[in-house]
Structure formats: structure tokens, C-alpha cells
Chain A
Amino acid sequence: MTLTNYLVLSGILFSIGAATVLLRRNAIIVFMGVELMLNATNLALVTFSRLHGDLTGQVMAFFVMVVAAAEVVVGLAIIVSIFRTRKSASVDDINLLKS
């Protein structure tokens, strides 16, 4: 086994996350797909950090985690406020601006 295996796993997880974002309608599940994609990038960053013997990759992964936490807080707040007004958590129902 080489470190390439980790990168391939990271690629697979990223595409599954992307598929979730594209295919699911529930806003919360779509959001979890985004989280999965962020996690997959973190795995790639950690693997590259090990490949190059440089800890900067881990620092980048750390920053990604912090920003993801902030993003989750705001995103879930938006989902909750939309749910309060529209009584729906489906991304397809948010078409108020449609002509």
C-alpha cells in the first residue's frame, strides 16, 4: 500500500459528497454532503502533508475545520429560519423569486 490509497479514498468520498449535494432534496442532507466534501479535502491535505514531510498541510486542514464549523452554524441558522417561514426543509420549495 502507498499513500496514493488515501488520496483515492479522498477522491471517492468527495464525489459521494458531490453526488449528495446534486441529488438530494432535503436541505439538511445536502448540507451534510458539503461537510463530507470538506472532510475528504482534509484527508487529502493530511496525506499530502505526510507525503512532503511538512506540517503546513495539517495547519491548512485545521483552518478548513474552523471555517467549516463557522459555515455550519450560519447555514443551519438559515435552514431553520427558512423552515420557520416556509414550513419546509426541501431545497425545491425555495422558489419564491420564480416568476
Chain B
Amino acid sequence: MTPSTAETVLFWVLAPIMVLAASGLLFARKAVHAALCVITVMISLAFLYVAQEAPFLGVVQVVVYTGAVMMLFLFVLMLVGVDASDSLVETLRAQRWVGWLAALGLGVVLVGVVGRATYPDAVGLAEANAPGNPTGVARIIFGQHVFGLEVVGALLVTAALGALVLTHRQRLKPLVKQPERAAARVAAGGRLTPLPAPGVYARHNAMDVPALDPDGNPIDESVPRVLRIRGQEAGTAEYRADTYRRAVTAVLAERGVVGDGEVDAALGTVEDDPRPAAAPPGTTTGPTADIDLGGGSTRTETER
């Protein structure tokens, strides 16, 4: 029995492709390219199996190797990082050359022995495959190798459990969810509510005017942080809720005190760091001082 012409053509088309793809595995810089090369080799092998009267193995090759094993490889590449490439540092001296030599020697020995050996005349599988190739394979597996099949089943279960155990991650800290976060926030004693919105009674284009608290004092936090850093926060003197102030002023006026400073002193609302009054809508007063934002910040407009 000799291979048919069609099989010869198939072999000579596929063999160079397979050897090239295998060299791709050896030389490819990126692991993903290597994986694609191996997939090429495996699919070509499936073709060769079918040509060699082993259609069952051909199908299993595609399903198990290219379908499961190589996809697993690609998933792990995704986990590990696609660009995980080889290090160039040689830890063992001359290992590269010894490796090349050993691999070449192995190739020469294998090819030499296998190529020069004398084989009996090929019998071919026409007779063994008479009831169908999967049927013939199944008769042998479930006839002579039942125990082996059971052991392999146990091995697969063990491997699955082993993979689960190996990739299991122990939780080192207790799980932090929303209730724990809320409790931690209350315990920390910071502000629990959202920040107050800036602006006073729509009397100004009010992003730069702080809101006032019930006593009439400005709440600095209500102005956006960017404006505060740039120094564009406006003063609030003219927007203060001034009912109380008017009452105090009236009382003071009866006593003969009329100056604004005295009223402020009596009210206790003197601003520590007086800021200019709010600019008319559409204009800004600009930054009042240089502010160092640290190395990580982008340039500010006051930077020279």
C-alpha cells in the first residue's frame, strides 16, 4: 500500500507550512504570534490525521488541541500580559549555544534513524477501519483499555481540582462593602452631606461667591476647588444676609457708633483674609497670588 497522489500533494503542501510555523514558535518575539503558529501546526496535523485514515483523531485534534488547549493558552496570555517577552539576560553561561547544539543533535539523530530504518510493507487501515474508524477505535478503547480510560477520567478530575486549588486566592482582609464604608465614614467624622452649592440668592454670577451659613458667614468649601486654588473666590461682604446686621447697626447707631468696622467687630464677622468683591458677571479679577500645586500638577496660568 502506498500513499495516493492526492495524499502526496497534501503532504508536500502541509509539511513546509508546518515546519515554518513550528520555526515561528521558536523565533517569534511575541507569545501571541507563537500561539498562532502552534495553532497552524495543530490544524495542519488534523488534516494529516484525516489523510492517514484517522478521521476520529483528526476531529479530536481540532476539538481538543486547537479548540480547548490553545484557547486556554490564549486566555493565560491575556491574564499574564500579551507583551510578556523573553528576557535577554543569560543566567546560565553558554546555555544558548549548548541548547542549539542539543536540539540540532536531537533532530539529526531522530531524522537519521527514522529516515534510514527499514520498515515492513505498509498494511494500511482499510481492513481495521472497515466498521468505521470511530467504531474501531472505540472497540479497542472499551475492549482492551477500559481500566486505562477510567484512570484517565480520574486524572482529568484531579487536574480540574488541581487547577482550582492552584488559582484559588485566599482573602487576606475582610470584604469591604457599602455598610462598612458608610460606618467608616461616620466614624471618621468628616462631612457626610454633599458640599453646599455656591452662590447667594442669584444676586451674582455666582460660581465664585461662597454660600453663606445661617450666621451669614461665607462657607469656603462651597466654591469650586479650582477657583479657590486660582484665587478667584470673591468676597461676600455685600451679599451677607443682613437682617441681623441691620438690627445690630441700629442698636449701635443709638449708642453713637456708626463705622462699618465697629459693626463687623460687634458681629464677629470680620473676614480674616479679606478678598475683593465679586467682579461683575463675565469678568474675573484673576489670580491674586502664585500657588504651588506640586510637581504632579499641570501648569497654572500664573506660572512664568
The binding surface of chain A is classed by DSSP as: helix
- Measured CA separation A32–B45 after assembly (Å): 15
Interface size class of A (residues with CB under 8 A): 35 or more
- Measured CA separation A46–B49 after assembly (Å): 7
In the complex, A96 has a CB within 8 A of chain B? no
Contacts of B155 in A (CB 8 A): 66-67, 70
Contacts of A76 in B (CB 8 A): 72-73, 76, 163
- Measured CA separation A58–B76 after assembly (Å): 30
B110 pairs with A9, CB closer than 8 A: no
In the complex, B107 has a CB within 8 A of chain A? yes
* The one of A19, A32, A46 that contacts B38, using a Cβ cutoff of 8 Å: A32
A17 pairs with B22, CB closer than 8 A: yes
Interface size class of B (residues with CB under 8 A): 35 or more
* The one of A8, A59, A84, A95 that contacts B141, using a Cβ cutoff of 8 Å: A59
Residue numbers of A with Cβ under 8 A of B are: 1-20, 22-26, 28-29, 31-33, 35-36, 39, 42-44, 46-47, 49-56, 58-59, 61-63, 65-74, 76-81, 83-84, 88-90, 92-93, 95
Contacts of B87 in A (CB 8 A): 25, 90, 92-93
Contacts of A90 in B (CB 8 A): 84, 86-87
In the complex, B195 has a CB within 8 A of chain A? no
Task: Please give me the residue from chain A that is nearest to B101 by CB atom.
Answer: A22
B218 vs chain A, min Cβ distance (A): 51
A11 pairs with B111, CB closer than 8 A: yes
Contacts of A26 in B (CB 8 A): 31, 84-86
- Measured CA separation A47–B115 after assembly (Å): 13
Of residues B26, B34, B167, which shows the largest number of chain A Cβ atoms within 10 Å of its Cβ?
B26
